Amino acid sequence: MDLLTVFQILDSTVRLATPLLLACLAGLFSERSGIFDIGLEGKMLAAAFMSAAIAAVTGSVWLGLLAGTGASLLMAGIHGAASITFRGNQLISGVAINFLAAGLTVVVAQSWFGQGGRTPQLMGGGRFEPITLPFALGPADAEEAGRPLSELIAEAGMFQQLYSELISGHSILVYVALLAVPLSWWVLFRTRFGLRLRAVGENPAAVDTAGISVIRLRFVAVAICGMLCGIAGAYLATGLQAGFTKDMTAGRGFIALAALIFAKWRPWAALGACLLFGFLQAVALRYQNIELGEFVVPVQFMDALPYILTVVILAGFVGKAIPPRAGGEPYVKER
């Protein structure tokens, strides 16, 4: 295995980690405020469909992103109404949202486009195009030389390979997701809003006593969660792939949930966990069965590894994962 192959795998790691990271940060805001969210998957799926559908109809990927985020926010609104206003079971609400998105996206896609529950293939302005950073080899260089980009990169020096293959050439949402990590950290741990948000997930009664609305704080957190899930879904359908297909999230919402637990509800650790799980996906995508000398690691094991790791972490064998204390409990103001 040469260095370029390593860079290629890492490059695909970053791409695959991006939706996980956005969804993971989404879950971070929601769960830190005390609202468990197993509906990340559904919100992403709804956003993936709406973004692809609107991008296909209007030809503008930015309108698609807006519509996708709107769809995800609507789902988040249902979750908020069920779990905050009506003090329902947050887990049941999350399950319902996952099914609602899985069903509605296909039903609407079928009646809208009539292509068996998918949207038309997105082209040109309907997709987020890769961005070529300054001094990196990009499609423009390839066109000038009249050869494929991969050949040019293969011939370049090591640092140029690293820069062009791994760092440059992603769509803008990848960079947005990476920037969202320090931003989330700053918001949660360096602002008054963040302090209150974390407090409301640990001890809502204390926050209420201080004269701050628990309900409003939690709704804001759920809305941030919806927005980030929306970007994650839009990236799936308009950046990573070119259009919506049935069930295209394929469990990513649950892997993001796993990453959130793996990261023990912290933003920087979330980046690490998502990159790790993205790496596992990238390796499983590139190689079928991995041979380690005598022993063959089956591809199914690679698929299951994120889930197995999460169970191990949850079991507390490698450090203890303690969720926000008021998580999952509806807040009843004393009367």
Which residues contact other proteins (rule: CB under 8 A)? 38, 78, 81-83, 86-93, 95-100, 102-104, 106-108, 110-111, 114, 117, 251, 254, 257-258, 261, 298, 300-301, 303-304, 307-308, 310-311, 314-316, 321, 323
**Closer of 38 and 61 to other proteins (Cβ):** 38
Tell the smallest beta-carbon distance from residue 59 to other proteins (Å). 24
Residue 292's DSSP bridge partners are 295
Q: Is 264 in a helix, a strand, or coil?
A: coil
Tell the smallest beta-carbon distance from residue 254 to other proteins (Å). 6
**Closer of 108 and 167 to other proteins (Cβ):** 108
DSSP codes, 86-147: S---HHHHHHHHHHHHHHHHHHHHHHHH-SSS-PPPP-GGGS-PPBPPTTS--HHHHHHHTS
Tell the smallest beta-carbon distance from residue 127 to other proteins (Å). 26
Tell the smallest beta-carbon distance from residue 243 to other proteins (Å). 18
DSSP codes, 278-335: HHHHHHHHH-SSEEETTEEE-HHHHHHHHHHHHHHHHTTSSS-----TTTTPPP----
Closest CA to 168 of 140, 144, 137: 137
Tell the smallest beta-carbon distance from residue 147 to other proteins (Å). 40
Structure-token pair, residue 170: 């992603």
**Closer of 110 and 203 to other proteins (Cβ):** 110
Q: Give helix then strand counts, H and E, for the chain.
A: 14, 2
Tell the smallest beta-carbon distance from residue 9 to other proteins (Å). 21
**Closer of 87 and 333 to other proteins (Cβ):** 87
How far is 232 from 45, CA to CA, in rounded Å? Answer: 9
**Closer of 82 and 231 to other proteins (Cβ):** 82
Please check whether residue 326 is in contact with residue 200, taking contact to mean a CB–CB distance below 8 angstroms. yes
**Closer of 111 and 292 to other proteins (Cβ):** 111
Which helix (H) or strand (E) segment is 291 a member of?
strand 290-292
Tell the smallest beta-carbon distance from residue 64 to other proteins (Å). 21
**Closer of 23 and 180 to other proteins (Cβ):** 23
How far is 51 from 60, CA to CA, in rounded Å? Answer: 10
Amino acid identity of residue 59, one-letter, is G
